[in-house]
Amino acid sequence: MRVTTVRMSDEVLDRVNTMAKTLNRSRTWVINQAVEKFLSYEEWFVREVQAGLDEARRGEFARDEEVAARFGKWGVNAD
């Protein structure tokens, strides 16, 4: 494991410290968990956007009927 330095506001560091105390974990653990969750979400989001763009480039769009059916499942009129 490598060491790095991160600058953060007093408010954010206070939140980190509070969470560490609440969870009975170290500040390092809380920060690592936060970074891991952020990266996992952002990596997923980028993959999903890229997949959508690839579909669009291939001309793969939902038909009007498909969109209306999906919205209809939630009780929304898509017309």
Helix or strand or coil: residue 57? helix
- pLDDT at residue 75 above 90? no
Helix or strand or coil: residue 55? helix
Model pLDDT, residue 77: 82
- Residue with the larger pLDDT of the pair 74 and 22: 22
**Global confidence as pTM:** 0.75
Model pLDDT, residue 76: 86
Model pLDDT, residue 79: 72
Instruction: Please give the single-letter amino acid code of residue 73.
Output: K
With CA atoms as reference, report the closest residue to 34 among 6, 66, 1: 6
Q: How many CA atoms lie within 13 A of 46 on its CB side?
A: 6
Model pLDDT, residue 47: 98
Structure tokens at 38: 């952020």
pLDDT in tens, 16-69: 999 999 999 999 999 999 999 999 999 999 999 999 999 999 999 999 889 888
Cβ-Cβ contacts under 8 Å for 6 (sequence gap 6 or more)? 31
